[in-house]
């Protein structure tokens, strides 16, 4: 994710009040932390010792998911740490995650409160951060009805068209592969959500506007971005003397106008008799049943974009790296494509049932490198007990998705490797999905009532992108560069591979012409 000068300036100014209030804030912070540390002596789950006041913060700066995996060997499946007095419980086994986050979802479905990121910037309506309660229930239900497995198929034509454009552009300009997948994932979601015309480049005004919003929210969720998340009483400070608050309110007003305009544009199209599949169109049609207001519906759609666009881009980046690191899997996939699809046409969703290895590859890339290794944190709404330990009300609870996706009982002893065959039986047919993975093949999409609402759209998009690209071309390691499977860049809410170069070679001369014709048929 690239940060423009204007966005960096926003982040700087959002924190400038610290220079004026540092002493007062530090004092109140110290009192709050001391109170937390001394408020309970109940038996929490075990965990590593931390420093006075700050707890384990310094130990969690780099690759915390790897540290939690290591601590599992010392302290067990359930590990407790302290982040400046805030207890955080990490679940390192599928049994503990399923028991607490699935079976006890009624008390583990809340989210940590993010006052700037959600309350101010999004009027408390950003679905991934939405607090569990009366607003969340109808919003989540409306999203599920519009993007469940059956409903997601209504977006397949958009996804197929974007896959064709992606493959064509990649062959024409292999050096711009990362730019192509960024454009493609964003364009696909804009079309599925708003029925917008395809995005032609990163400079598209629509794309820049919504990406700036996503970046602002991402920055606001980072630990330490705003003191008000540590000291909630600061939210009552009048905006006239709180520049951070005033700017956040101004950004919200700007974004709210933009999202409402996009929603009302779809509403007008429906009134005029023109309608194609989109999340917004579904929300307009079902407004009487969902009872969501125009305001709530427009922010629901924006939430899905903010949560999905970068995640799909990141998954495609990790998949590309896997093709270079494990070229035999690329060849196996192409062998299947040649046998089922041939070279006279491009793959379609109708081929899905006959492409089990491609389906397994989709599952494997999502498992192998989960773009959110610790998932999105849950919060307990009641005191609870598990395996003899107390989990107090208000505890942050995370599933270590990285560790769960390497469970040898579910995924075999070679779970660190990229190997789609782990999902296939001896006849090459897809095996049943491991316990608790909701037929997704891994634990990446989350648990319980907070499972990713857009996972079917994401899986469909990855399937058609992977099938189309591997049908048309092969990835080749550029100049035999040294590749780093474990290196990553933390973009705040997701992780992506460190930059690498890739060479793209058409598999047969007809591929270029067939892609060109398919795109021209669609006016692209």
Q: What is the mean pLDDT of residues 160-174?
A: 96
Query: To the nearest whole percent, how much of the chain has pLDDT over 70?
Result: 92
With cut-offs at 50, 70 and 90, classify the pLDDT of residue 225.
confident
Nearest to 475 by CA among 177, 183, 182: 177
| Ranges assigned E (strand) in 93-146 | none
CATH architecture for residues 5-521? Orthogonal Bundle (1.10)
Please give the distance of CA 168 from its chain centroid, rounded to a whole number. 26
Report the pLDDT value the prediction gives residue 481, as an integer from 0 to 100: 83
Q: What are phi and psi of 207, to 5 degrees?
A: -65, -45
Nearest-angstrom CA–CA distance, 169 and 512: 10
Report the pLDDT value the prediction gives residue 309, as an integer from 0 to 100: 86
Least trusted range by pLDDT, from 22-31, 233-242, 346-355 = 22-31
| Residue 502 · residue 474 · CB < 8 Å | no
The pLDDT of residue 419 is above 80: yes
Q: What are phi and psi of 477, to 5 degrees?
A: -65, 120
Q: Taking the CA atoms of the chain, what radius of gyration do you get in angstroms?
A: 23
The pLDDT of residue 15 is above 50: no
The pLDDT of residue 7 is above 70: no
Helices (H), 121-176: 136-147, 149-152, 156-172
pLDDT digits (tens, 9 = 90+) for 298-309: 999 999 998 898
Alpha-carbon distance values, 86 to 37, 39, 174, 374 (Å): 8, 11, 47, 17
Report the pLDDT value the prediction gives residue 277, as an integer from 0 to 100: 87
Report the pLDDT value the prediction gives residue 92, as an integer from 0 to 100: 98
The pLDDT of residue 442 is above 60: yes
Report the pLDDT value the prediction gives residue 156, as an integer from 0 to 100: 96
- Mean pLDDT score across all residues of the chain: 90
pLDDT digits (tens, 9 = 90+) for 36-50: 444 444 699 999 999
Report the pLDDT value the prediction gives residue 377, as an integer from 0 to 100: 96
Nearest to 468 by CA among 348, 363, 365: 348
Nearest-angstrom CA–CA distance, 407 and 419: 14
The pLDDT of residue 174 is above 60: yes
Domain ranges of the chain: 5-521
Q: What is the mean pLDDT of residues 58-83?
A: 94
Nearest-angstrom CA–CA distance, 177 and 160: 18
- Residue scoring higher pLDDT (93 or 57): 93
| Residue 178 · residue 314 · CB < 8 Å | no
With cut-offs at 50, 70 and 90, classify the pLDDT of residue 244.
very high
The pLDDT of residue 154 is above 70: yes
Least trusted range by pLDDT, from 105-114, 245-254, 265-274, 385-394 = 265-274
pTM: 0.90
Q: What is the mean pLDDT of residues 457-474?
A: 98
């Amino acid at each position: 994710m690239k940060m423009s000068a204007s966005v960096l300036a926003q982040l700087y100014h959002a924190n400038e009040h610290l220079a004026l209030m540092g002493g007062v804030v530090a004092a109140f912070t110290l009192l709050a932390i001391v109170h937390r540390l001394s408020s309970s002596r109940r038996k929490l789950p075990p965990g590593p010792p931390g420093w006075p006041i700050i707890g384990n913060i310094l130990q969690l700066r780099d690759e915390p998911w790897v540290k939690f995996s290591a601590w599992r060997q010392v302290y067990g499946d359930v590990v407790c740490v302290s982040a400046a007095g805030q207890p955080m419980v990490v679940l390192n086994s599928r049994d503990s995650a399923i028991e607490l986050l699935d079976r006890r979802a009624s008390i583990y479905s809340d989210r940590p409160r993010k006052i700037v990121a959600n309350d101010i910037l999004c009027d408390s309506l950003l679905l991934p951060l939405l607090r569990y309660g009366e607003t969340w229930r109808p919003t989540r239900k409306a999203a599920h009805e519009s993007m469940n497995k059956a409903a997601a198929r209504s977006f397949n034509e958009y996804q197929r068209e974007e896959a064709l454009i992606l493959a064509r552009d990649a062959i024409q300009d292999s050096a711009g592969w990362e730019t192509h997948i960024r454009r493609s994932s964003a364009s696909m979601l804009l079309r599925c959500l708003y029925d917008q015309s395809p995005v032609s480049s990163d400079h598209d005004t629509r794309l820049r506007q919504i990406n700036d919003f996503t970046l602002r929210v991402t920055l606001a969720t980072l630990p330490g971005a705003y003191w008000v998340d540590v000291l909630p009483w600061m939210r009552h400070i009048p905006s006239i003397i709180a520049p951070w608050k005033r700017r956040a309110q101004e950004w919200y007003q700007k974004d709210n106008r933009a999202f409402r305009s996009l929603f009302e544009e779809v509403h007008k199209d429906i009134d005029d008799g023109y309608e194609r599949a989109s999340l917004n169109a579904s929300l307009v049609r079902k407004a009487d049943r969902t009872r969501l207001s125009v305001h709530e519906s427009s922010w629901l759609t924006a939430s899905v974009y903010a949560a999905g666009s970068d995640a799909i881009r990141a998954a495609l980046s990790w998949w590309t790296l896997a093709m270079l690191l494990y070229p035999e899997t690329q060849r196996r996939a192409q062998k299947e494509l040649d046998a089922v699809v041939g070279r006279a046409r491009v793959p379609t969703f109708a081929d899905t049932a006959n492409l089990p290895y491609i389906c397994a590859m989709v599952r494997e890339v999502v498992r192998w490198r989960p773009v959110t290794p610790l998932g999105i944190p849950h919060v307990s709404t009641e005191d609870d007990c598990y395996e003899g330990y107390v989990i107090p009300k208000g505890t942050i609870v995370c599933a270590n998705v990285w560790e769960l996706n390497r469970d040898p009982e579910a995924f075999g002893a070679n779970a660190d490797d990229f190997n789609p065959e782990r999902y296939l039986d001896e006849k090459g047919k897809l095996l049943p999905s491991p316990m608790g993975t909701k037929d997704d093949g891994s634990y990446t999409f989350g648990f319980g009532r907070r499972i990713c609402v857009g996972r079917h759209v994401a899986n469909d998009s990855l399937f058609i992108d992977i099938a189309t690209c591997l049908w048309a071309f092969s990835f080749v390691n550029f100049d035999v560069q040294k590749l780093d499977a474990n290196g990553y860049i933390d973009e705040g809410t997701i992780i992506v591979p460190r930059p690498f170069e890739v060479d793209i070679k058409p598999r047969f001369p007809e591929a270029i012409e067939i892609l060109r014709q398919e795109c021209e048929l669609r006016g692209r």
